[in-house]
Structure 1
Amino acid sequence: MSVRARPPFCGLDASMEVISGKWKVLILWALRDQPQRFGALKRQVPGVSEKVLTRQLRELEEDRIVRREAHDDQTGLRVEYSLTQRGVDLYKALEPLGDWGRRYLTPARQDELAHSSTGNA
């Protein structure tokens, strides 16, 4: 989380501060089921640069939403990112927002989303 000029006004304000950033919600979505390596995350969040992905992962790590684990095995150093319990709880809190978005998307946007999720885009 970046340094704030003022303390959060309420719980919603504090929550929005944690997830502010163009890619943070998509990072949470990408980590929802299992740990991911950096390259896999980058593929699941199309359009994000390596620099921005690194910065937003670090911010989520500072807020104890994401855990970074380095494993040294036969192939060398392997780094994985996963949600902490706090991150899981945050993702669960965001799920109803996703439901709302799917429900109220315009028909044209629904078609676009359906094609992109099936690989027909």
Structure 2
Amino acid sequence: MLPPPSATARGLPQRRPAPAAARAGAARGPPPRATVTAGGDATALTMAGRGLGTAILPELSRREAGTAVQVMDLGPQRPVRRVGYVTTPEAAGTLAVRALIREFRAGTS
């Protein structure tokens, strides 16, 4: 027997979808009773293309979607991916890296 939609297989609460995802899913009916964590975006695309589910993917991954799937925009309230900058400890203190980080931070207000 599968767990109810509000619980995972371990009985822990699932994260609630972002508002845009919830609205998009509401038109399709109730959520699936089981979820799968794919190994990567390519796996998720392949599974969706074979009718084995749906996926919310970053824009760069969606560009590789091909004709087996239909890509739908989630609108202006779509989920946002937060990223960080990774470098070596030695490079982190250089003027160039500090200037780059300053520019990124200035663009996010």
Shared fold (TM-score, shorter chain, > 0.5): no
Q: In terms of Rg, which structure is larger?
A: 2
Instruction: Indicate the structure with greater helix content.
Output: 1
Give 1 or 2: higher strand fraction.
Answer: 1
For normalisation by structure 1, the TM-score amounts to 0.21
